[in-house]
Amino acid sequence: MKHRYSSILIFLSILVSSSLSAQLSYVFTSAGATGSVGPTQGQLNTEYASTNLQGAVTSANGIQIWTVPSSGLYSIEAYGAQGGGANGGFGAKVSGEFLLSGGDILHIVVGQQGLTDPASATGVGGGGGSFVVKSPAIAVGDILVIAGGGGGAASTIHPDRDASATNNGNNGLVAAGVSNPDGAGGTGGNGGNKSVSGCSLDRGAGGGGFLTDGGSICQSAGAANGGSSFLNGAQGGTASGAGSIGGFGGGGATWSTGFRGSGGGGGYSGGGAGQINADSPNHAGGGGGSYNSGLNQSNTGGFNAGNGQVVISPLSSPIPNEAGMAGIDSPTLPTCAGTYPLQVTVANFGNNQITSLDVQWTLNGGPVSTQAVTSVIDTSGGAGSSTASVNLGNITISDSTEIKVWTSLPNGVLDTSNSNDTILLSFFASNPILNLPDVGICDGNFAILDAGSQWASYAWNTGETSQQIVILAPGTYTISVVDTFNCPATDQIIASIANSPSINLGQNIIGCDQRVLNAGNAGGSYQWNTNDTTQSIVVTESGVYLVTVTTAAGCVGSDGVAVEIYDSPSINLGDNFSICTDLNESRLLAVSGSFVSYNWSTGSNQSSIIIDGNQGLQNGPNTITLGVIDENGCQGNDTIVATIKTCIPAGIDEANQDEQLLLYPNPATDLLTVSSSSPIIQLEIMDITGRVVLSSASRSTLTRSIDVSQLKAGSYMVKVKTNATSTFQTVIIK
């Protein structure tokens, strides 16, 4: 009895489940659409009138958008479409079980059968696959089920023309002997290949996969396109001329003239295209691959004839008390900065009417308040509305904002299905700011008002709608702009009579070393052609210098000047030196080059001077300065220190120093001649340290010459020994 009782319970459970499925199954069809494009909204409205899908399905370029009405376990069955032609491959049947939440959005493609070329029954398109993908429907992880479509086939009975129960698309059948055969089915969610490489023999196009399109054939006359992938819209391929057309859901097309091929079926991975030649019958396109991520899977290839279909059936009763968020109605995106009511919609996803629930929310992560809802929210399909609008109060937003809203405690009990409870809205509120400077109508002429190029529209109080306007009179001008988010900003510009800046850099300038150029007009902005932006600049090179000055009122003036800069002369009097006045030493001071004037600190204005102790110099260091002016009027100077001292060594007899003695030339370069009133016995030349550097042979003459060309330039002592005495004199060697 115990086992029999358990069997009865199981049987009753199956009956309840079957009854529930029969009553609540949602059946999605092609709604009468044929060919490469899916059903329109009008076709869907007609197809689903008086059914449980009435008013619940939206067309997005043929893809059907549907929202799961309540949380629970669902069975999803998808049937791929048959390929075109008398022997078109059958579509796959794929089914599985899925836990779905009320409010989940599904993107559904119902595959459509491939068409036959009206000009020839041998050119046939591939069938479209049927897809059920969970929003956001942008990645493989969003796929629930995909049933592949069959490949086109006119006469050839080729087993691979049927859709595959595996992920990979089947290969198309390419005629024996055709060069460069291809027609390989797609793998990994990619489209199938075209039938043959090379434009002159291309015939069939591949079926589209989930990720990529099927291969298209030659883009000359007679081109045919592969089916579009699900991510690219899932349209069937089309051909030039009449041609065959692939079914919606990624079916491939074929060429319109000559020998025709067969399009591959659409699916998770597209089927490869088929190909014929002159002496072979039509060869079939490969069927598309399938995909199933559900529980208790059932996957069958080559099952369905005609158009595809999707059936979604609940396997469990809805949760009794289950509510969730259906959307945030206000603020809407894009949003301008400001204060808005926070308006949301909550929905009943369970099988009990909801008479109370709480709505909580946070703004930028901070809790705000809890709103108690006490209105009646009916079940889906009930006499009343299954949604309710809730005003949560006003919010002020100025920039980046995150709003999080969730429901809790439907009918005062815990909500055991939480995946649809919460909704999050993150956005940036545009807050345009317009801050334009006041302007001057320079010299009473005109001014240009510019609002900037970043705005979508302009409205001046003058009635003009351009970015810039020209004004002739002073006054207050108002500009209103709108940015790309349709958010406004306003500013006022005060225009007054103003004078243009007066700039005078002077006449052309000739100067030495550097000059300072001053544009005046303090408080303005400056732009020199040297890229300087200061009021004054220092000029060190010859050239033409230009400046533009903009006053605070916006008036502009400019000036320029040619500048010629000369380098000041560089002179060098040499190293500091010493002379011995008691030895009658002297030093010639001179500089290289020729100058217009010379100004020595000794009072001389000659080009050179001799320092010999007779210029009133003091014993010890004496600073001697020379200033020169060249032909350009540029000045140069140098300073040297001359030390005056006594140098004759102690013990030398100076008693007869008054004997007449003559040395010439002095300064000497080559030969130095000495004449004396007494016969010269010996002649010696000593450096400043007293070391003998030259001497003459011993002989008695009144005049004697000695070669000094090998001596270094400088001061030397000449010792002249006569019959009467020894005499010392200074000579300068140049």
Task: Tell me the DSSP string of 26-89.
Answer: EEE--TT--TTS---HHHHHHHTTTSTTTTTEEEETTEEEEE--S-EEEEEEEEPPPPSSTTPP
Instruction: Detail the DSSP E strand segments found in 239-365.
Output: 291-292, 295-304, 309-314, 323-330, 335-336, 338-348, 357-363
583 phi, psi to nearest 5 deg: -105, 10
Question: 């000045």: which residue's tokens?
Answer: 635
Helices and strands counted in the chain (H then E): 2, 43
pLDDT at 159: 85
Superfamily of segment(s) 509-566: Immunoglobulins (2.60.40.10)
Taking alpha carbons only, the member of 448, 450, 452 closest to residue 433 is 452
pLDDT at 12: 30
CATH 2.60.40.3080 location in the chain: 661-733
Distances (CA, A) of 733 to 473, 588, 664: 86, 10, 11
Q: Pairing between strand 635-645 and 692-695? A: unpaired
Q: How far apart are CA 23 and CA 66, in angstroms?
A: 18
Contact between residue 165 and residue 300 where contact means Cβ atoms under 8 Å apart:
yes
Dig out the tokens for 670 from the structure: 């080559």
pLDDT at 10: 30
Q: How far apart are CA 495 and CA 439, in angstroms?
A: 5
| List of the chain residues with pLDDT < 70 | 1-23, 121-122, 156, 175-181, 196-202, 218-222, 241-243, 256-260, 276-282, 582-583, 647-659, 697-699
Residue type, 731: V
Identify the CATH assignment for 577-645 out of 3.50.50.60, 3.30.429.10, 3.40.50.920, 2.60.40.10.
2.60.40.10
Dig out the tokens for 696 from the structure: 């003459």
The CATH number of 323-430 is 2.60.40.10
* Global pTM value: 0.59
Angle at 14 between CA 12 and CA 17, to 5 degrees: 110
CATH topology of domain 661-733: Immunoglobulin-like (2.60.40)
pLDDT at 199: 56
Angle at 137 between CA 132 and CA 139, to 5 degrees: 110
Question: 């069958």: which residue's tokens?
Answer: 300
Angle at 667 between CA 661 and CA 672, to 5 degrees: 55
3-state secondary structure of 596: coil
pLDDT at 257: 58
Dig out the tokens for 174 from the structure: 């390419």
Dig out the tokens for 528 from the structure: 């020199």
CATH 2.60.40.10 location in the chain: 323-430, 509-566, 577-645
Q: How far apart are CA 325 and CA 421, in angstroms?
A: 5
Residue type, 185: G
